[in-house]
Chain A
C-alpha cells in the first residue's frame, strides 16, 4: 500500500547584494506561490510590502512572478531565494489618474484665462476664434476618455511601478499641456492658414482616431478575463476599427499618433507638433518592445504585422 506524504519546503530569503539571511520560513506548502511567500516575508519585514519585493533564484537573475509555484521551480526542498528592494511603489491606476487629471485641469485654466498667465486685461475673457473652443473640447474629451478608460476599461498586468515614475510622468504630461495650452489660448493666437477646411479635416481625423483608440482598448480588455494576467494574440473583431490588427501589433499607439496629428493640424501650433513627435518616439519604443515580446512568446504570431506603422515601423 502506498503512503501519500506531503513534503514541506523550507524557504530562506537572502539579500541579493549582501547575501545576509533576511528570513527563514519552514513548513511551506509545496504548492505555495511566490505571491504567498512574499506575504509571509512581509510579515517578518513590514517595511517591505509585497509590491516592492523582487524575489529571484539568482542574485543577478530575473524576478520570479507572483504566480510561480514553489514546487515547479528548480529548487531543492530547502529553497534559497534572493531579495531585492524595488523601492517605494505606487499603483498604476494612481499614476494614470494623476498624470491625466493634470492636463485636463491645466488646459482649462489657460482656456478660461485665469489671472497671472496673460496680460491682466485678458483675465477671464474668451478667445474670439471658434477653433480655440473646438480645441478645448477635443483636448478635454481626450483626457476625460483616458480617465474613464483607466477606471473602467484597462486591465493592468502589473499592479505597481516605482514611485519616482509619477514625478517623471507628471512633469512630462503637465509640462507639455501647459506649454501647448499657453499658445492655443493666447490672445495673439493665429488660427490655421487654410481655415475651415483644415479644421474640419483635422476634426474628422481626431474623432476617427479617438474611436479607433477606444475600440482597441475594448478589444484588448476582452482578450483578458477579469483578474487574470494571461496574454493572448489580439485579432480583428467585428468592429472595423480593429481590422488594423491585421497590419499592426499596437494599433492603440497608431490611433493615438493619429489623434495628436489631427490636433496639431487643428491648432497649427508648433508646441503641439513637438508633443506629437516626442509621444511618437516614446510609443514607437514601447510598440517595438511589445512586438518583440509577442514574437518571442507566440510561435504562430502573424508575420504581416509591424509594431506601430503598417509596413514601415
Chain B
C-alpha cells in the first residue's frame, strides 16, 4: 500500500516536471520567435530608411526589400499555429484573417504585379506594417521576459488607432492601382471552355477582396479597441455570447 502511494506521488512529480519543462520550452521558443521577428522588421525599417536617404526617391525601394519582406511576413504563418495549439491566447480566426490578408498583399499583389511596385500606396502600407510589427513583436518579447516598459505597451495599443486605417488605405489603393494591369494580362485567370468546367477571373476576385474590407476591417479595429480598453484601462469587457 505504502509503495503504491509513493509511486503515485513520484508519478505526479514526474508529470509536474514534464509540464514545467514543456512550458519552459514553449516560453523559450516564443521568446526566440518574437526577438527574431522584431529584429527582422527592424532590419526592414532601417533598409527602407537608408534607401530613401541615399537615393532621395521611393522608386526601387520595394525591390530592394522584397525578399526580406516576403521571408518575414510569410514566417508569421507560424503564429496561426501558435493560436491553434493554444500557446498563444489569440483566436485562430482573428490572427488567421490578419496573416492571410498580409500574405495575400505580399504574394498575390505586390509580388506578382510588378507595375505597381513603385506606387506611393505601397510605401504607405510598408511603413505602417513596419511600425506596427516592431511595436507588436517587441511588446510580446518584453512581456515574455516580464520586463515590459510602459512606452512599448502604450505604443502597441495606441499606434494602431491611426496606423490601421492608414494601412488599409495603402492596401486598397495598391489593389485598385493593380486592377488595370490584371485585366490586361488576364493573370491567374481561367476561361471557358475547359475540361474542368470552371472559370476564374482574378480581376473580379480582387474587387471582391476590396469589398470584403468593408465588413472585416471594422471588426478587427473594434477588436483592437476592446483589447486596448482592457489592457490600458483595466476595463472588463463582456463579449456577446454566440
Docked pose: A267 CA to B198 CA in angstroms: 11
1/0 contact trace for B14-58 toward A, CB 8 Å?
A: 000000000000000000000000000000000000000000000
B240 to chain A, nearest CB (A): 12
Interface-side segment among B140-148, B165-173, B188-196:
B188-196
Q: How far is the CB of A259 from chain B (nearest CB, A)?
A: 19
- Measured between beta carbons, the chain B residues less than 8 angstroms from A193 are 195
A190 near B198 with CB under 8 A, answer no
Closest chain A CB from B241 CB (angstroms): 9
Q: How many residues on chain B are close to A (CB under 8 Å)?
A: 8
Nearest B-chain residue to A179, judged by Cβ: B198
Give the distance to chain B from A244, nearest Cβ to Cβ, in Å. 31
> Which of A184, A190, A267, A270 is the one whose CB lies under 8 Å from B193?
A190
Complex contact A189–B195 (CB within 8 A): no
Nearest neighbor of A87 in chain B, beta-carbon distance? B242
Cβ proximity bits B168-206 to A, threshold 8 Å, 1 near / 0 not: 000000000000000000000000111111110000000
Q: Give the docked Cα–Cα distance between A313 and B66 (Å).
A: 44
The answer to whether A269 touches B193 (Cβ under 8 A) is: no
The B contact surface, by secondary structure, is: loop
Q: Output the least CB separation between A233 and chain B (Å).
A: 32
Give which listed residue, A188, A267, A268, contacts B192 with CB less than 8 A.
A188
Contact B192 A270 (CB under 8 A): no
Distance from A176 Cβ to chain B, minimum over Cβ atoms (Å): 13
CB-CB nearest in chain B for A186: B192
CB of B198 within 8 A of CB of A183, answer yes
| Most chain A CB inside 10 Å of its own CB: which residue of B192, B195, B197, B199 | B197
Interface residues of B in 82-96 (CB under 8 A from A): none
Give every chain A residue within 8 A of B194 (Cβ-Cβ). 190
Chain A residues lying within 8 Å of B198, measured Cβ to Cβ, are: 183, 269-271
A268 to B195, CA, bound (A): 7
Chain A residues, CB < 8 A from B193: 188-190
Minimum distance in angstroms from A83 CB to a CB of chain B: 15
Q: Which of A181-198 contact B (CB under 8 A)?
A: 183-184, 186, 188-190, 193
- Measured in the bound complex, the distance between the Cα atoms of B20 and A227 in whole Å is 55
A72 to B193, CA, bound (A): 67
Chain A residues positioned under 8 Å from B196 (CB to CB): 268-270
Instruction: Evaluate contact between B195 and A186: CB separation under 8 angstroms.
Output: no
**Nearest B residue to A164 by beta-carbon distance?**
B242
Can you show 19 pairs from A to B with CB atoms below 8 A apart? A183-B192, A183-B199, A184-B197, A186-B192, A186-B197, A188-B192, A189-B192, A189-B193, A189-B197, A190-B193, A190-B194, A190-B197, A193-B195, A268-B196, A269-B196, A269-B197, A269-B198, A270-B197, A271-B197
Extra pairs beyond A184-B197, A269-B197 (6, CB < 8 Å): A183-B192, A189-B192, A189-B197, A190-B195, A268-B195, A271-B198
